[in-house]
């Protein structure tokens, strides 16, 4: 378990994603340092914008699928109804062929909604891994802990003191070495740094030096991003710094609010009338969408401010992207899209030596509304 957090993640796939993202965040911090503003909070902001911009093609593909599903789902359900109760192999194969043709008509597949999510999942997990363990990926932040780390390794009682800190609980199974010390100090609150200085007065010089550099790196709009908002609120209340208290309170509040708005902007296709399973699924999704913003508030109260900054910025970037995607897709000509998809599908069939299929088209429809009140379908034979 040596260097569980500080050592770069070696998990297959996730480790490779984290290594690439670590290279990006290290480059951002070095760039900011070169222009005189070496700040971890600002680094996280720019990092989040860049990462979600890189994921924009996947986001667009996923949202386009959701829009197309409004027209596609009734046709799929009609096919399922047509073969309902037929379990013989011939009927099942015919049903699969007809459903495959419908998916082709709308330019997607049965995994069309899942594949972008599966691709994004390790990416997003790696992003969180990098943000949560900045010293593991940003060289200059890691270097700021020296020579304090060396001194603590050679100081009697340092191991017992550090491993008894609250921030050390998650590292209790690690071997005590340089990585462990940096992991603990990276998660240590202001009060724990104060306790370290009072327990090792002989190291006050190197402690102050490391602390001053790190506080300069970690100061973001008056907050130390290594502290949690809850800790900061209590600290600012005791100090009478009410303006900073409000700023600390805004982090979790904005995390919940921005996620709530982001979820509301995402398109969701209404289930077909009478489809119990779809309706139950939609209810579960609505419940989850209402619950997650509240969870965001709680997590961003107790986790470091840096995580909250990432959470807020990711929701803000998603909101901007969603508004842009919504505007673009509202102008999408579904007839033209389907025509292209049918031509592409039939070219593929031709290569396989199969005759072209006559697929039903739809009337010209704006994609602006993804939950139309009238789900009655109009079809034109192409």
pLDDT exceeds cutoff 50 at 164: yes
Residue 207 to residue 186: CA distance in whole angstroms: 13
Mean pLDDT of the chain: 79
Q: What was the pLDDT predicted at 84?
A: 84
Asked whether the predicted pLDDT for residue 290 surpasses 80, the reply is no
Angle between helices 276-302 and 242-265 (to 10 degrees): 160
pTM comes to: 0.76
pLDDT tier at 138, thresholds 50, 70, 90: very high
CA 289 to chain centre: 15
Per-residue pLDDT at 214: 92
Three-state SS string across 80-146, please?
HHHCCCCCCHHHHHHHHHHHHHHHHHCCCCCCCCHHHHHHHHHHHHHHHHHHHCHHHHCHHHHHCCC
Tell me how far apart the terminal alpha carbons of the chain are, to the nearest angstrom: 62
- What the block records as the tokens of 379 is 């079809």
Task: Single out the residue of 306, 303, 280 nearest to residue 134, CA to CA.
Answer: 306
Average pLDDT, integer, range 110-128: 70
Q: Is the pLDDT of residue 23 over 90?
A: yes
**What is the model's pLDDT at position 273?**
43
Which residues neighbour 146 within 8 Å (Cβ) at sequence distance 6 or greater?
210
* In the predicted structure, residue 18 carries a pLDDT above the cut 80: yes
Q: How far apart are CA 144 and CA 253, in angstroms?
A: 32
pLDDT band of 210, cuts 50, 70, 90: very high
Tokens of 125: 């997990």
Could you tell me the pLDDT band of residue 27, with boundaries at 50, 70 and 90?
very high
128 pLDDT band, cuts 50/70/90, is confident
Q: How far is CA 337 from CA 134, 153, 175, in A?
A: 44, 65, 58
């Amino acid at each position: 378990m040596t260097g569980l957090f500080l050592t770069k993640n070696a998990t297959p796939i996730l480790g490779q994603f984290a290594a690439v993202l670590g290279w990006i965040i290290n480059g951002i911090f070095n760039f900011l340092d070169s222009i005189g503003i070496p700040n971890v909070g600002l680094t996280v902001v720019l990092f989040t914008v860049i990462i979600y911009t890189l994921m924009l093609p996947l986001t667009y593909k996923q949202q386009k699928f959701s829009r197309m599903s409004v027209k596609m789902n009734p046709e799929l359900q009609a096919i399922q109804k047509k073969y309902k109760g037929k379990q013989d192999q011939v009927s099942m194969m015919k049903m699969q062929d007809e459903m495959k043709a419908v998916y082709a008509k709308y330019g997607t597949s049965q995994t069309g909604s899942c594949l972008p999510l599966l691709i994004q999942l390790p990416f997003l997990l790696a992003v969180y891994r990098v943000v949560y363990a900045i010293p593991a990926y940003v060289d200059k932040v890691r270097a700021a802990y020296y020579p304090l780390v060396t001194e603590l390794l050679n100081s009697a009682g340092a191991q017992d003191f550090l491993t008894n800190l609250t921030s050390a609980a998650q590292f209790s199974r690690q071997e005590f070495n340089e990585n462990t010390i940096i992991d603990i100090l990276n998660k240590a609150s202001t009060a724990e740094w104060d306790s370290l200085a009072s327990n090792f007065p002989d190291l006050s010089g190197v402690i102050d030096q490391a602390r001053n550099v790190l506080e300069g790196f970690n100061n973001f709009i008056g907050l130390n991003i290594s502290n949690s908002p809850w800790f900061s609120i209590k600290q600012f209340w005791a100090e009478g710094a009410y303006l900073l208290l409000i700023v600390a309170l805004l982090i979790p509040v904005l995390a919940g609010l921005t996620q709530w708005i982001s979820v509301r902007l995402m398109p969701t296709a209404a289930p077909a009338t009478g489809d119990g399973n779809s309706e139950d699924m939609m209810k579960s999704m609505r419940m989850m969408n209402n619950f997650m913003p509240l969870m965001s508030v709680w997590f961003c109260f107790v986790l470091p401010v840096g995580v909250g900054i990432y959470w807020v910025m990711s929701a803000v970037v998603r909101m901007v992207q969603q508004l842009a995607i919504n505007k673009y897709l509202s102008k999408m000509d579904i007839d033209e899209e389907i025509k292209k998809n049918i031509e592409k599908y039939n070219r593929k069939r031709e290569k396989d030596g199969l005759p072209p299929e006559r697929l039903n088209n739809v009337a010209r429809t704006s994609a602006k509304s993804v939950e139309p009140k009238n789900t009655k379908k109009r079809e034109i034979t192409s």
